[in-house]
Amino acid sequence: MAMQREQQYRQMAARGKYQGLYTYLSGLATPEWRTTFSEIESVIGFALPASARLHRPWWSNQAGGNGHSQSLAWGAAGWETAEVDMDAETLLLRRKAAVSAQKFNLDELLPVHSAGGWPEDLSLRREDIY
C-alpha cells in the first residue's frame, strides 16, 4: 500500500506546477545539489512566489505528500532540503537516505530456549486439576 502511495505522489509531482523541478532532480546523478533560487527559477520556467524569498518554511520538507506542491516535487524525486540561506538565496538539496527493507530471522531475534522436560507428576486432566 505504501509503495502504491509513493507511486501516486510521483505521478502528481510529474504533472504538477513544479514538474520541471521534479524532472530535473530525477535526472541528477549527484548526491547533493547546491543551487540558487534564480537557478531553480530557470529550471521550473517561472518566478518563485514572494513567499519563497520571505518565509523559510516554504522550503521545508514534508513527509508523505501532505504538503505543498514544491515540497512534493523534490520529495517525490528523492530529495530533501538540507541548507537554506534566505539572505544569500541559496539552497542545498540532498538525496534522501534510502530506506532498506530488512528481512529478519525470527529465530535469531527470539531464539527458542528449552524450558526442560515436562514434569512427570504434572497432569492436565480435569480430575487432577480440580
On whether residue 108 sits in a domain, the answer given is no
On whether residue 83 sits in a domain, the answer given is yes
On whether residue 113 sits in a domain, the answer given is no
pLDDT tens sequence for the chain (130 residues): 556 766 666 666 666 788 899 899 999 999 999 999 999 999 999 999 999 999 999 999 987 656 788 988 898 889 999 999 999 999 999 999 875 455 666 666 666 666 677 677 777 777 877 7
On whether residue 117 sits in a domain, the answer given is no
What pTM was computed for the model? Answer: 0.67
Antiparallel, parallel or unpaired: β 79-85 and 90-95: antiparallel
Residues 6+ apart with CB under 8 A from 54: 86
On whether residue 84 sits in a domain, the answer given is yes
What is the residue range of 18's domain? Answer: 2-95
On whether residue 128 sits in a domain, the answer given is no
Count of the separate structural domains present in the chain: 1
